[in-house]
């Protein structure tokens, strides 16, 4: 083979390689542009869909259907978990937590408080700081995340109405991250039929409504009002049957009585806690 032939062959190979490389680059751009937006749903049993016979009825599963193939929704809910570090099971100690962080969702949706609000040492400040500490562990990558917080619905047991105490601290956490708060209160307050026998966990019918509200929020189809740097989306009010309103009034009265009894019983433990850890609301108990 002459030197000229070798040179011609080299030029052909070079042109071919360049063409392949260009095609790969175009394909790579195409794949990137078509990649699904990753959505991480992080929370406790209300995110997991505890007690549902069909896991597809959980709110993350129904959210996936509503958002479609442009999104990939992952359920990182873990039953009985807390964000406060004095909870029996702190979320960051669960087996699913590392996976939820590694997933590095483009959209992060947190729903905590249903368990935390029941803790004897719960305070708004303690909850706010502990919640922010957990959320911060998801923001350490270079990705710019869109963050949402969901206020869980009320339970219909002796803790009825307590969940409203978590609204203000959740808004403060959201403000730290420039996030959006979605308040689910009106979705369930007039619907006792949505609740399981334990009066805490809910049916797929509720999760369907929640998923619709979350999907609309994610897509920017609904807007809330801005409160100190956080967007607050409050589920629209629904007409409530008078019988349900009366039942709610009875639940509220009973819950207030139960709360007074718990506060009295927990008083010596709180005094001991404050004596030993006067700054626990800010620092946490186990750092």
Q: 211-255: per-residue pLDDT in tens?
A: 999 999 999 999 999 999 999 999 999 999 999 999 999 999 999
71-77 β-sheet, strand order: 71-77, 37-43, 107-111, 146-151, 180-183, 230-234, 225-227
Report the pLDDT value the prediction gives residue 35, as an integer from 0 to 100: 85
Instruction: Single out the residue of 180, 153, 175 nearest to residue 164, CA to CA.
Output: 153
- Average pLDDT estimate for 117-135: 98
Percent of the residues in the chain that have a pLDDT greater than 90, as a whole number: 87
pLDDT at 83 over 60: yes
Contact 114, 44 (CB under 8 A): yes
Ranges assigned E (strand) in 44-174: 71-77, 107-111, 146-151
Tokens 């958002």: give the residue. 67
What is the number of structural domains in the chain?
Answer: 1
Report the pLDDT value the prediction gives residue 142, as an integer from 0 to 100: 86
The reply to whether 25 falls in a domain is no
Residues facing residue 110 across a β-bridge: 42, 149
Residues 6+ apart with CB under 8 A from 126: 84, 280, 281, 284
CATH assignment at residue 89: 3.40.50.1110
Helix (H, G, I), strand (E, B) or coil at 232: strand
The reply to whether 23 falls in a domain is no
Count of CB atoms within 10 A of residue 66's CB?
A: 16
DSSP-assigned letter for residue 32: H
Residue 25 binned pLDDT confidence (cut-offs 50, 70, 90): very low
Cα–Cα distance for residue pair 69/64, rounded to 1 Å: 8
Cα–Cα distance for residue pair 146/179, rounded to 1 Å: 7
Report the pLDDT value the prediction gives residue 194, as an integer from 0 to 100: 98
Cα angle for residues 282, 85, 274 (degrees, 5° grid): 50
pLDDT at 269 over 50: yes
For residue 119, report the phi and psi dihedrals to the nearest 5 degrees. -70, 140
The reply to whether 27 falls in a domain is no
Cα–Cα distance for residue pair 208/191, rounded to 1 Å: 14
Report the pLDDT value the prediction gives residue 101, as an integer from 0 to 100: 98
pLDDT in tens, 48-62: 999 999 999 999 999
The reply to whether 17 falls in a domain is no
Residue span of the structural domain in which 230 resides: 36-283
Token duo for residue 273: 């806690």
The lowest-confidence range among 22-36, 39-53, 126-140 is: 22-36
The reply to whether 83 falls in a domain is yes
Contact 189, 197 (CB under 8 A): no
pLDDT at 11 over 70: no
- Average pLDDT estimate for 83-111: 98
Count of CB atoms within 10 A of residue 231's CB?
A: 19
Report the pLDDT value the prediction gives residue 255, as an integer from 0 to 100: 98
The reply to whether 187 falls in a domain is yes
The reply to whether 19 falls in a domain is no
Token duo for residue 123: 């305070």
pLDDT at 102 over 60: yes
Residues 6+ apart with CB under 8 A from 190: 238, 239, 240, 241, 244, 245
Residues in the chain: 287
pTM (2 d.p.)? 0.88
The reply to whether 261 falls in a domain is yes
């Amino acid at each position: 083979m002459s030197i000229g032939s070798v040179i011609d062959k080299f030029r052909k190979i070079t042109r071919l390689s360049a063409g392949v490389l260009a095609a790969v680059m175009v394909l790579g751009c195409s794949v990137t542009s078509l990649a699904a937006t990753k959505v991480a749903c992080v929370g406790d049993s209300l995110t997991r869909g505890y007690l549902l016979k069909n896991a597809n009825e959980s709110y993350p599963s129904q959210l996936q259907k509503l958002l479609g193939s442009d999104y990939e929704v992952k359920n990182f809910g873990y039953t009985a978990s807390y964000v406060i570090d004095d909870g029996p099971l702190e979320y960051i100690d669960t087996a699913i937590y590392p996976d939820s962080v590694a997933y590095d969702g483009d959209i992060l949706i947190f729903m905590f408080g249903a368990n935390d609000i029941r803790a004897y040492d719960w305070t708004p400040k303690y909850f706010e700081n502990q919640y922010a500490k957990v959320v911060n562990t998801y923001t350490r990558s270079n990705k710019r995340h869109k963050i949402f917080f969901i206020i869980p619905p009320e339970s219909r047991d002796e803790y009825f109405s307590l969940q409203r105490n978590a609204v203000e601290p959740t808004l403060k956490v959201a403000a730290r991250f420039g996030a959006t708060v979605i308040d689910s209160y009106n979705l369930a307050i007039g619907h006792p039929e949505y609740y399981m026998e334990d009066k805490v966990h809910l049916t797929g019918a509720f999760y369907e409504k929640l998923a619709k509200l979350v999907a609309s929020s994610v897509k920017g189809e609904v807007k809330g009002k801005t409160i100190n740097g956080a967007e607050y989306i409050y589920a629209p009010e629904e007409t409530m049957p008078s019988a349900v309103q009366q039942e709610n009034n009875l639940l509220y009265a009973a819950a207030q009585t139960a709360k007074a009894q718990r506060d009295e019983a927990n008083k010596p433990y709180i005094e001991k806690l404050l004596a030993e850890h006067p700054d626990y609301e800010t620092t946490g108990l186990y750092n």
